[in-house]
Amino acid sequence: MELITLVIAFLIGAVMGLTGAGGSILAVPVFTYLLRLDIITATGYSLFVVGITSLVGAIKNVVQKNIELKPALYFSIPSLTTVIVTRGTIVPLIPDEIFSSDSLVIGKQTLLLGLFAFLIFYAAYSMLKKKKVQEIKPVFDIKRLALQGAVLGVIMGLLGAGGGFMVVPVLVLIAGMEMKKAIGTSLMIISVNALSGFIAGASGLENIDWMFLVKFTVLMVAGILTGGYLTSKIDSQKLKTGFAWFITGVGAYILVKEFLSL
């Protein structure tokens, strides 16, 4: 099973390299349903692999000078604060059993995976909508930038996800960045937030399989590099549309699995 999971890690990376999205959206379901990890461990592992892979991309963009530090700070300080508080304090306080009746029991895993499914639907919608962020006139607003950062931190802390599909439009529309710099800056923000969230919640993870995490991360990076190489050879827009519909199916599967089987 681990071998299959590691092959999937490479494929997830390839999808990220081709579409610019999909890392945590696919990693969490793989960890949860294929490896049968509990949701806290699955989201913690997701934070680690997304944090490291984003860091690799961020370093590349630092070299290419595609990062703007000032808007990044306005966004990342609130997001960093909320991701640490959420992962280190709020998540451990969520009870294992949230609601129960004679016919229905909703626990921590069901709640978080349900929220994760709706995050997937939002990501799919972001990929499918025709209006591009470049077509909208940006308005620099520090308060909105900080608020969006804080919200992202909560989402990332709870669900181990919330990547470029959320950060890039904010940096373009509210910080007024050009697309290339928004992508580079988002990678830096995501890497800092994800790794901070992982560290904040690490005490709640038992017996972390570091060897597996390293192998999974290395194969994801290899997949990203492969996908990046293939972008010039494949219609990325059609691929992104197909991927959006695919993850919509993943989100639907999660809802059916978690709620209709109760």
Read off the pLDDT of residues 49-73 as tens digits, 9 standing for 90 and up. 988 988 888 888 888 888 888 888 8
Q: Above 60 in pLDDT, residue 98?
A: yes
Q: What mean pLDDT do residues 18-39 have?
A: 83
Highest-confidence range of 84-93, 202-211, 252-261, by mean pLDDT? 84-93
In the chain, the N- to C-terminal Cα span, in Å, equals 26
More confident residue, 167 or 252: 252
String of DSSP letters for 14-73: HHHHHHS--HHHHHHHIIIIIS---HHHHHHHHHHHHHHHHHHHHHHHHHTT---HHHHH
- The helix/strand/coil state of 178 is coil
pLDDT of residue 132: 54
User: Which pairs from 127-133 meet CB under 8 Å and 24+ separation?
Assistant: 127/19, 127/21, 127/165, 127/240, 127/241, 127/243, 127/244, 128/241, 128/244, 128/245, 133/168, 133/169, 133/172, 133/173, 133/179
The first and second tokens of residue 88, run together, are 């280190």
More confident residue, 104 or 146: 146
Closest CA to 65 of 189, 228, 180: 180
pLDDT of residue 96: 85
Closest CA to 60 of 185, 179, 159, 155: 185
pLDDT of residue 165: 74
Q: What angle do CA 134, 116, 161 make, to 5 degrees?
A: 60
pLDDT of residue 13: 83
| Total residue length of the chain | 262
Q: CA 259 to CA 262: how far, in whole Å?
A: 5
Least confident of 41-45, 176-180, 219-223: 176-180
The first and second tokens of residue 160, run together, are 């181990």
- Which stretch of DSSP H or E encloses residue 96? none
Give me the percent of the chain exceeding a pLDDT of 90. Answer: 28
Q: How confident is the model at residue 150 (pLDDT cuts 50, 70, 90)?
A: very high
